[in-house]
């Protein structure tokens, strides 16, 4: 999956710089780092009644995490997980830059399902 081939150069309104080279299944960028992992397992907390929100055609499941939020795509062949530190609040804004590559390389089957 090429979602990780080029992390965005901006996250929300705050410029970020690459902090590590993209790996085969993940990438990290910025300071503090945002992390992206492809092909992760279905989140244990994701259920039939879980809340989902959509950003530019990408459905996301959000979970509070230590120091920020953990977002996982929903309704796609592969789960993509993005960890966003609270430094980038509002954390969901960081997802906007990721929607184009996710829509390209991990097409939606049913957003928010």
Which DSSP symbol is given to 42? P
User: Predicted confidence band at 30 (pLDDT cuts at 50, 70, 90)?
Assistant: confident
φ, ψ at 68 (rounded to 5°): 165, -140
Q: Which residues contact 24 (CB under 8 A, 6 or more apart)?
A: none
> What does the longest C-alpha to C-alpha distance in the chain come to?
37
User: Contact 98/3 with Cβ under 8 angstroms?
Assistant: yes
CA 73 from centre of chain? 7
End-to-end alpha carbon distance in the chain:
21
Q: What is 69-85 written as a DSSP string?
A: EEEEEESSSSEEEEEEE
Task: Record the pTM.
Answer: 0.82
pLDDT for res 112: 74
Give me the chain's average pLDDT, please: 81
46-92 confidence digits (pLDDT tens) = 998 899 989 998 999 999 999 999 999 998 988 999 999 999 999 88
């Amino acid at each position: 999956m090429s979602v990780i081939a080029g992390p965005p150069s901006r996250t929300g309104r705050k410029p970020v710089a690459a902090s590590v080279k993209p790996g085969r299944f993940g990438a990290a960028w910025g300071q503090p780092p945002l992390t992206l992992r492809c092909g992760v397992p279905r989140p244990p907390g994701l259920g039939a009644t879980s809340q989902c929100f959509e950003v530019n055609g990408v459905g996301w499941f959000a979970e509070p995490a230590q120091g920020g939020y953990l977002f996982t795509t929903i309704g796609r062949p592969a789960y993509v997980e993005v960890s966003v530190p609270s430094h980038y609040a509002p954390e969901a804004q960081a997802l906007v830059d990721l929607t184009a590559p996710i829509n390209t390389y991990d097409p939606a089957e049913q957003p928010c399902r």
